Structure 1
Amino acid sequence: MTALLIGNVGLIGDEQRMAEYRARVLHTLELYDGGFMIRGGEFETLEGEWTPTHLSVMVFPTGVHARRWYASPEYRAIVPLREGTHMDLILVEGE
């Protein structure tokens, strides 16, 4: 069952460190059979009041893969680079 991680980056704490995080995160996703479906880009709110700042959608074969990536030593090693940056991240599993 396909799993999507939907993330939104809000207020950025340190631009340089966040740039390094962004440069390194794809490699960590690929190690767990994941990748970006959408990374930034234009969006339009059609209903409600949610207005993301920088939206990303990552895809994995299963939720297990996504959770392994999130807990992985490779990803955990780069998480401190986004310290002070607000990030929302949700996991959605479906067909």
Structure 2
Amino acid sequence: MTAYAVAHLRTLSNHDDVLTYIEKIQKTMQPYGGRFLVHGSAVEVVEGEWPGALVVVSFPDMDAAHDWYASPAYREILPLRTDHITGDVVLAEGVGPDYDARKTAAAMRA
């Protein structure tokens, strides 16, 4: 099942370290099948507030996402971002093509 790394970066910075991180991150994701789906595009807030930027990366599965995040290559560049940008990052497994929210609701009601 496809998995996603989702980052809500609340503060933004063009610090040289951040630019180096952006230049290097793609190479860290490639061995794990990671690819950007959303990277710094403008968001349209339709409910609530959303200060900052959104990043979404897809991976073939949750194991690949975990392996990428824990990889020595990524861990080496991570401080280049975290020292200058605050935010939250989560890993989440997607749903399959036959997912039906009504079944989820029924299970929750039971």
Q: Same fold (TM over 0.5)?
A: yes
Q: Which has the greater radius of gyration?
A: 2
After TM superposition, give the deviation of residue 64 of structure 1 in Å: 0.7
| Bigger strand fraction | 1
Whether the 8 Å CA contact 1:7–1:87 is kept in 2: the answer is yes
Provide the rounded CA distance (Å) in 1 between the counterparts of 2:88 and 2:80. Answer: 16
Higher helix share: 2
Higher RCO by CA contacts (8 Å cutoff, separation 6 or greater): 1
Measured at CA, do residues 53 and 13 of structure 1 come closer, stay the same or move farther in structure 2, by a change above 3 Å?
Answer: closer
- The 5-angstrom pairing of residues 75-90 of structure 1 reads 75-82=74-81, 83-90=83-90
CA contact (8 A) 2:18 2:84 kept: no
**Identity percentage of aligned residues:** 36
Preserved contact between residue 12 and residue 52 of structure 2 (Cα < 8 Å): no
Q: How many residues align?
A: 94
Q: CA RMSD in A?
A: 1.6
Unaligned runs of 5+ in 2: 96-110
Superposition TM-score, scaled by structure 1 size: 0.88
TM-score with structure 2 setting the length: 0.77
Q: Which moved more, 1:53-62 or 1:11-20?
A: 11-20
Q: Any unmatched runs of 5+ in structure 1? A: none
In structure 2, how many angstroms separate the alpha carbons of the residues matched to 1:67 and 1:32?
Answer: 9
